Amino acid sequence: MNLEDLKGIGTKTSKLLNKLNIFTLNDLIEYYPYRFNILERTNLVDNEEVVIDGIVESIPNVFYFNKRMNRMTLRINTNNKIINISIFNRAFLKPNIKVGNYITVIGKYDMKHNTITASDIKLFRLPNNPIIEPIYHVVKGITSNQLNKIILNNIELYNSEELIPDNLIDKYRLLNKKDSISVIHSPKDKNSLNRALNYLKYEEVFLFMLKINYLKNKRTDILGIKRNINKEDVDKFIDTLPFKLTIDQNKCIDNILNDLNSNNRMNRLLQGDVGSGKTICAVIALYINYLSGYQGVLMAPTEILSIQHYNNITKLFKDTNIKVEILTGKLKVSEKKEIYKKLLNKEIDILIGTHALFSNDVVYSNLGLVITDEQHRFGVNQRSSLKDKGINPDILYMSATPIPRTYAITLYGDMDISSIHTMPSGRKEVITLLKSEKELKDILDIMLQELKNKHQVYVVAPLIEDEEGTSDNENVIELKEKIDKAFGKYFKSGILHGKMSKEDKDSIMDKFKNNEINILISTTVIEVGVDVENATTIVIWDSYRFGLSQLHQLRGRVGRNNLQSYCVLVSNKETERLNILTTTNDGFKVSEEDFKLRGSGDLFGTRQSGDMQFKIANIKRDFNILLRAKEDTQQLLDSKLYVNSNLYKFIENSIDIS
């Protein structure tokens, strides 16, 4: 059903809803509030926020400091106790506050002066049940209240499908789905709200863990490729590298060699900060796989990254006979066909590319190893369809978004994990500075200093352009104007963002790599793996819009060689949170803090990507629910009771069953 066919939604509202990732009726109804305002009578406690109603005893008295500033005072009688009320800048309420009427006051109580300094006054008596108001994340142009009305106007059309088995509904005394959805958008009391929240959280993590456990079961059912490669043969190649491997890199390589030599299928997550040297581990894995006679692929989320990997890897393998090719969407049809042919004839040993690597036309002769870079960028579906291209290829995922161990074990319960904690030596730590927008001069000075030293600069903004001219946030288009004003005479700038064509993107990236462009102004498309060693500074506008892990990832664009690099976070808000980044460069610590502050919501940066998005559960607060769901789903899968249920359809639709 089209959004515009729904009650109360025209073209304008529909566009606004799209911005919230709401495109269908289901998206709308499953757009949950992120918190609730609760208005409920409290006791009068000294120095605490109280909510009290009472009868107005005195005509309000208003004192005007100036035109805008005023203070109103009055007395109310609550339970035969007279209390003074004082409230700022609400003189407009005075005509509605009548002696003898009930009002409700929200504010801080000062026992000594028997006064509530109110933040709000409502012109009604508190009902016996609390008033609960759902609050939604919104964008400019629509209020939380309006969104709630739209949802309630259309909620009857929503067809809720119950996926949780009855025995689990009983076990946890959960509401059913239909009621939970209805309660969450119009809660009447705390008890039912809690039950609705419990249901929805449980459902969310249940379905998530079901997928994970399903994949895990599937893996242990399958035997992998057994190889027989000696470490000495691998060491011969390692000796040709231009640097010595770090201890952690060596450990990871040992893990990988064990996996590849074993009977079991490898399913390993290799995590480590940007620049920690994951790629070389992947390259060595590809080398081992090559020695054992199999083809390998390395898949990257973007074309830019694939090309980078291709260039790196061909360099590292230049003294070997290994045949490396690259396959991206950009190739001509004839070029693609040539690659397909070579693949089948085993004239290619290693193929690098984007998800073009697993389009239907690609057939491998004997695929033995699949490596994906920044694995969270790929959905479960894509992953398994790639897996299914080989017989039982081994799988290695690389991620620069480190996850604290406890969470990783649960969420990546179907994988083994190797971590790189230390950076290659000789690397200087990136210096991170937090600046307010007022400190523009400092920001420009840092940029200028680096530009003068012939280094390059990234500038990141949260938006591409301000279509409606309503946003306070910086956007790429306007930033370019500002920057050209400051530096245009001497330095060249360029723009990169997701809405540009591939050709334009590549051409800009090439120019930046060749230092024909000194300043690259971009959205977060540069977040993943872009590698320009001469770039030593990254300035991130409106940093508060990003999660810590995402900022950390962006920061990883600089500090990629032994030059001193800088990361400037520009923000007028949330400075305490952002400050964490000025104190540590350790991605594991950053992600730990991110977890503490926000739960998983932002772990993988942008909200539209990743398998690990929870809408309502919070991985930290609701970790116990997750653990329970982990057990429940495993039991369910073991019992095979799901095979005839809606759940089966769910699994079938969300994962390739083959």
Contacts with ligand ADP, residue ranges (CB under 6 A): 243-246, 249, 272, 274-280, 400, 424
Contact 617, 34 (CB under 8 A): no
Q: How far is Cα 270 from Cα 317, in angstroms, rounded to an integer?
A: 22
Contact residues: Mg ion, CB under 5 A: 279, 529
Cross-strand partners of 107: 50, 118
* 92 Cβ contact partners less than 8 Å away, ≥ 6 residues apart: none
Terminus-to-terminus CA distance in the chain, angstroms?
31
From the list Mg ion, ligand ADP, none, pick the one residue 424 interacts with, judged by a Cβ distance below 5 to 8 Å according to partner type.
Answer: ligand ADP
Nearest distance from residue 249's CB to ligand ADP, in Å? 6
Q: How far is Cα 647 from Cα 641, in angstroms, rounded to an integer?
A: 10
Q: Which of 276, 432 has the CB closer to ligand ADP? A: 276
Q: Whose structure tokens read 């040709």? A: 240
* 217 Cβ contact partners less than 8 Å away, ≥ 6 residues apart: 637
* 428 Cβ contact partners less than 8 Å away, ≥ 6 residues apart: 559, 562, 563, 564, 565
Q: Which of 63, 243 has the CB closer to ligand ADP? A: 243
Q: Which of 354, 571 has the CB closer to Mg ion? A: 354
Q: Which of 252, 395 has the CB closer to ligand ADP? A: 252
Q: Which of 271, 432 has the CB closer to ligand ADP? A: 271
Q: Which of 401, 518 has the CB closer to ligand ADP? A: 401
The token pair at 491 is 């330095």
Nearest distance from residue 427's CB to ligand ADP, in Å? 8
The token pair at 8 is 């109360």
The secondary structure element, H or E, covering residue 49 is strand 49-56
Nearest distance from residue 276's CB to ligand ADP, in Å? 4
Q: How far is Cα 123 from Cα 399, in angstroms, rounded to an integer?
A: 55
From the list Mg ion, ligand ADP, none, pick the one residue 499 interacts with, judged by a Cβ distance below 5 to 8 Å according to partner type.
Answer: none
The token pair at 642 is 């799901």
Nearest distance from residue 309's CB to Mg ion, in Å? 8
Q: How far is Cα 211 from Cα 217, in angstroms, rounded to an integer?
A: 10
DSSP label of 540: E
Q: Which of 249, 571 has the CB closer to ligand ADP? A: 249
- Radius of gyration for the chain, computed over Cα atoms and rounded to the nearest angstrom: 29
From the list Mg ion, ligand ADP, none, pick the one residue 524 interacts with, judged by a Cβ distance below 5 to 8 Å according to partner type.
Answer: none
Q: Which of 442, 533 has the CB closer to ligand ADP? A: 533
Nearest distance from residue 247's CB to ligand ADP, in Å? 10
Nearest distance from residue 528's CB to Mg ion, in Å? 9
Q: Whose structure tokens read 């059903």? A: 1
Nearest distance from residue 438's CB to ligand ADP, in Å? 34
Nearest distance from residue 553's CB to ligand ADP, in Å? 10
From the list ligand ADP, Mg ion, none, pick the one residue 328 interacts with, judged by a Cβ distance below 5 to 8 Å according to partner type.
Answer: none
* 333 Cβ contact partners less than 8 Å away, ≥ 6 residues apart: none
Q: How far is Cα 197 from Cα 193, in angstroms, rounded to an integer?
A: 6
From the list Mg ion, ligand ADP, none, pick the one residue 280 interacts with, judged by a Cβ distance below 5 to 8 Å according to partner type.
Answer: ligand ADP
From the list ligand ADP, Mg ion, none, pick the one residue 432 interacts with, judged by a Cβ distance below 5 to 8 Å according to partner type.
Answer: none
| Lateral strand order in the sheet of 324-327 | 324-327, 350-353, 295-299, 367-373, 394-399, 267-272, 416-420
The token pair at 19 is 């911005």
Q: Which of 244, 428 has the CB closer to ligand ADP? A: 244
Q: Which of 278, 336 has the CB closer to ligand ADP? A: 278
Contact 362, 341 (CB under 8 A): no
Contact 552, 587 (CB under 8 A): yes
Nearest distance from residue 278's CB to Mg ion, in Å? 5
Nearest distance from residue 275's CB to ligand ADP, in Å? 5
Among residues 251, 323, 242, 250, the alpha carbon closest in space to that of 286 is found at 323
From the list ligand ADP, Mg ion, none, pick the one residue 277 interacts with, judged by a Cβ distance below 5 to 8 Å according to partner type.
Answer: ligand ADP
